Structure 1
Amino acid sequence: MATLNEQLATLVENYSACDVSDALIKLQKTPEGSTARAGYLADLVPFSPITGRNTQTPKIAAPATTFKFISKSSKPPSIATENPQKHGFEPGKHWVDHVGEFAAADPSGAGSIVVIEQPDDQFCAVTGGIMATRMVAVGIRGTVVGGRIRDLGELRETGLPIWARATSTVGTNAEAKAGARDVPVSIGGVTVSPGDIIFCDPLEGVVAIPRELLGQVLEIMPKLIAMDEKAKEAVAQGMSVTDAFKKFRSAL
């Protein structure tokens, strides 16, 4: 059986985020009345080391280490206060000083990508130059922010791959604080749990793969791609898209 590092290498070397979502559409059961998200962390774009979708920076994939931000005036979630050593923040210790702990405890040695949930109604940044510098120092592979970042020049200098929804000039303390860590977070309606695989594709976008589905995703993607290649070839030769989909996509 392939190791996690081998699986991640296969993922980044051979597939796109769209391929992953196609696989998750097939593999995940969508609750009745809801819309399939297929792992897509919506509306995130690269800001470092290059701003905007591109083919120059490499794809990255690693397990998630998660942080949930809350309103500055809110009380932390009970999970953080009841177990501060695992899910909270001890007095005198900044949240970013915890970012390396998940990877350090993960026997796979695959590293980690920091995933941050920020309330939708906030306009401050939750990550900036100092935080990114600290993340690089402890070996973080990349950062995905479901919210805002700042200090773009400093972020780019670190070389750390950073994805976010938008930017701000305002520091975190204006309206936000870290509320919990190593807990499930929601980014664009997709739940990301600690250890889930985050796949950052600089051209197509960011997807989250439940860790228990990674092997199945890697198994099914070649079959889906092969079917689409046949459909594309048939369409190029004059077949209608409807007929091509019926002939080739219905096989799986």
Structure 2
Amino acid sequence: MASLNEQLATLIENYTACDVSDALLKLQKVPAGSAPRAGYLADLLPFSPIAGRNDTAQKIAAPATTFKFLNKADTPSTIAVENPEKHGFPPGKHWVDYAGDFQNEDPAKAGSIIVIEQPDEQYCAVTGGIMATRMKYLGIKAAVVGGRVRDLRELQGTELPIWARATSTVGTGAEAKAGVRNVPISIGGVTVSPGDIIFCDPMEGVVSIPRELLGDVLETMPKLIAMDDQAKEAVAQGMSVTDAFQKFR
């Protein structure tokens, strides 16, 4: 059986984020009446090392380390208060100093991608140049921010791949604080749990794969791609899309 690192290498070398979502549409069950998200972390763009969608930066995949930010006046969740060493932030410690903990404890030794949930109504940044520099030192492979970042020149100077929804000039302390870590979070309606596989595709976007489904995703994608290749070839030869889908999908 392939190791996690071997599986991640296969994912990066052979597939796109769209391929992953196609597989997750087949594999994941969603509650009745819910729209399938297929792992897509919506509306995120790369801001480092290159700003904007591109086909130059490297694809990256690694397990998630999760952080959830709160409004500045909010009370931390019970789990963070009762178990600060695992889920909270003891006094005198900055949240980013915990960025390497999950990957250090993960027996797969596949590294980590930081994934941050920020309240939608906030306009401050939750990641900037100092945080990116610390992540880089800790060996983090990338950061995915469901919110805002700032200090773009500094971010790009670290060469750490960073994805976010938007930017800000305002520091975190204006309205936000780190609330809890190493718990499931939500990015664009997709739940990301610690250890789930984050796949950053600079051209297509970011997807999250439940860790237990990674093997099934890798097994399913070649079959779907082969079907699509047949359909594209038939359409190129004049077949209607309707007929091609009926024949090959």
Q: How does 1:122-141 map to 2 (within 5 A)?
A: 122-141=122-141
1:76 to 2:76 alignment = yes
Partner of 1:146, secondary structure, is: strand
Match of 1:6 in 2: 6
TM-score (norm 2): 1.00
Match of 1:204 in 2: 204
Quote the Cα distance in structure 2 between the aligned partners of 1:213 and 1:79: 27
Task: Quote the offset at 1:79 in angstroms.
Answer: 1.0
Match of 2:189 in 1: 189
Partner of 2:220, secondary structure, is: helix
Quote the Cα distance in structure 2 between the aligned partners of 1:26 and 1:220: 8
Partner of 2:22, secondary structure, is: helix
Aligned partner letter, 1:39: G
Q: How does 1:92-111 map to 2 (within 5 A)?
A: 92-111=92-111
Partner of 2:194, secondary structure, is: coil
Q: How does 1:20-99 map to 2 (within 5 A)?
A: 20-99=20-99
After superposition, the CA RMSD in angstroms is 0.4
Task: Quote the offset at 1:82 in angstroms.
Answer: 1.2
Partner of 1:33, secondary structure, is: coil
Quote the Cα distance in structure 2 between the aligned partners of 1:233 and 1:156: 40
Task: Quote the offset at 1:30 in angstroms.
Answer: 1.3
Quote the Cα distance in structure 2 between the aligned partners of 1:112 and 1:16: 19
Moved more, 65-74 or 235-244: 235-244
Match of 2:223 in 1: 223
Task: Quote the offset at 1:212 in angstroms.
Answer: 0.2
Quote the Cα distance in structure 2 between the aligned partners of 1:73 and 1:66: 21
Partner of 1:218, secondary structure, is: helix
Structure 2: stretches of 5+ with no match in the other structure = none
Aligned pair count? 249
Identity of aligned residues (%): 77
Runs of 4+, deviation exceeding 3 Å: none
1:156 to 2:140 alignment = no
Aligned partner letter, 2:189: G
TM-score (norm 1): 0.98
Match of 1:113 in 2: 113
Quote the Cα distance in structure 2 between the aligned partners of 1:33 and 1:70: 29
1:153-183 superposed Cα distances (whole Å, 9 cap, x missing partner) = 0000000000000000000000000000000
